[in-house]
Amino acid sequence: MKNENRLIGSGLLTAITASLCCITPVLALTAGTSGIASTFSWVEPFRPYLIGLTVLVLGFAWYQKLKPLKEIDCECETDEKPKFIQSKTFLGIVTVFAIVMLAFPYYSGMFYSNTEKQIIIVDRSDIKTMEFKIRGMTCASCEEHVNHEVNKLNGIVTSEASYENGNAIIAFDRTKTTEVEIEKAINATGYKVTSKKEN
């Protein structure tokens, strides 16, 4: 029974660790400390291995739980009901929680408030589009975090961050904000602007 509890605990721990890089930006935004968002971005390269380990550990825990018991010639009573922590129900709850944690990067955007705003463009020549190269983004949650912070600034027309490309393409009204303010907003998330160029 102790081995089963260890398996369940290990599966839960690896699932949470695999999603730590994506959960941290949401927690940072919720707590109002957006600068710590990139703290666990170093976990991202290990994510596939942690996912695999989670699946293996929980799969083995289910195998152990569902395999038929060997019959022993014994007259002792074994109708004792297992503790909740040793039940199939608890293992099921842990498995569902692990799946929710592993899928977190795919639905993390719902935790960010809508930052769309009405933009009145007086003169088209005032609109400038720039590409900011950003270090530290590892998932869709990171993109949402950068877009959320940038869209708080006045004069942002569009903000499209991409963790795959390691950048953000931002169109803004240069009479209302500057590239320096945009860079500060991005850096405040914990991710760092490494370079910028006009598009």
Q: Which helix (H) or strand (E) holds 157?
A: strand 156-162
What's the mean pLDDT in 87-95?
A: 85
**Residues 6 or more apart in contact with residue 155 via CB below 8 angstroms:** 119, 172, 173, 174, 175, 176, 177
How confident is the model over 118-168, as pLDDT tens digits? 666 667 788 999 999 999 888 888 888 899 899 999 999 999 999 999 999
Taken in order of first residue, the domains within the chain and their CATH numbers are 2-67+84-108 (no CATH), 112-198 (3.30.70.100)
Asked whether the CA dihedral 168, 171, 177, 178 is positive or negative, the reply is: positive
Residue 25, pLDDT score: 63
